């Protein structure tokens, strides 16, 4: 019988694969669109109308669909200037603080972007040539920011629990785990 932790590991893995799959499919579609546009433009003197708009929308989708996975794995860009002088026994404190700051920033952004999505839907904002509603993409961005905030908050809780020795193994600081907590 699966345990609760096994269930959450499976659910997290399914979410991760789903987000990565949709982001990868979007990136692949963007590549196909760009290739078709270049071929149409240079060989048939007939570019695809709205390629720039579609590429912009798909690029935003790829970035924000990938954000929760990047936050969970902690694969974002970071500067490790103080790692060499920071005491190893207090790394968990630093990680809790950093993840809480990131959680707050992501949550503020998610709320502001949601408000922008509401405004875009109320005003009927659409793209210039293809007339695609902007509000849906803005809502997607807000949802992905909120999901990223929740994952960084969970990350902070795991660092805290492992730091105070409630979790002895299996948390983000465990030596047998990678920095992202994946095996």
Q: Which domain holds residue 44?
A: 4-163
Residue 13 lies in a domain: yes
Q: Which two tokens stand for residue 122?
A: 């109320």
Residue 177 lies in a domain: no
Give the Cβ contact number of residue 158 at 10 Å: 22
Those residues with Cβ within 8 angstroms of residue 50's Cβ, 6 or more apart along the chain or in another chain:
127, 129, 130
Q: Which of 113, 61, 93 is nearest to 161 (CA)?
A: 93
Residue 176 lies in a domain: no
For the chain, the first-to-last Cα distance in angstroms comes to 22
DSSP 63-87: HHHHHHHHHHHT-S----SSTTTS-
Residue 120 lies in a domain: yes
User: How many structural domains comprise the chain?
Assistant: 1
Residue 169 lies in a domain: no
Residue 142 lies in a domain: yes
**Contact yes or no for 64/149 (Cβ under 8 A):** no
User: What is the structure's pLDDT at 75?
Assistant: 86
Instruction: Provide the residue-wise pLDDT of the chain in tens; the chain has 183 residues.
Output: 566 567 767 877 888 899 999 999 999 999 999 999 999 999 999 999 999 999 999 999 999 999 999 998 888 887 878 778 888 888 889 889 999 999 999 999 999 999 999 999 999 999 999 999 999 999 999 999 999 999 999 999 989 988 888 876 655 666 654 444 444
For the whole model, what pTM was predicted? 0.85
How many CA atoms lie less than 13 Å away from 180 in the CB half-sphere? 14
User: What is the structure's pLDDT at 138?
Assistant: 97
Residue 175 lies in a domain: no
Residue 101 lies in a domain: yes
């Amino acid at each position: 019988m699966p345990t609760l932790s096994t269930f959450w590991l499976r659910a997290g893995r399914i979410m991760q694969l789903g987000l990565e799959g949709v982001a990868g499919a979007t990136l692949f579609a963007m590549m196909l669109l760009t290739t078709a546009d270049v071929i149409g433009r240079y060989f048939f003197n007939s570019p695809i109308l709205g390629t720039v708009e579609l590429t912009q929308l798909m690029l935003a989708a790829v970035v924000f669909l990938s954000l929760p996975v990047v936050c969970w794995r902690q694969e974002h860009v970071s500067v490790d200037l103080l790692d060499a002088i920071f005491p190893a026994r207090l790394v968990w404190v630093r990680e809790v603080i950093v993840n809480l700051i990131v959680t707050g920033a992501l949550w503020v952004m998610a709320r502001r972007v949601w408000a922008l999505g509401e405004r875009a839907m109320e005003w009927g904002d659409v793209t210039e040539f293809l007339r695609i509603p902007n509000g849906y993409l803005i809502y997607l961005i807000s949802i992905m920011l909120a999901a990223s905030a929740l994952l960084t908050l969970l990350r902070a809780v795991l660092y805290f629990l492992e730091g105070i020795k409630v979790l002895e193994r299996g948390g983000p600081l465990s030596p047998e785990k990678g920095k992202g907590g994946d095996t």
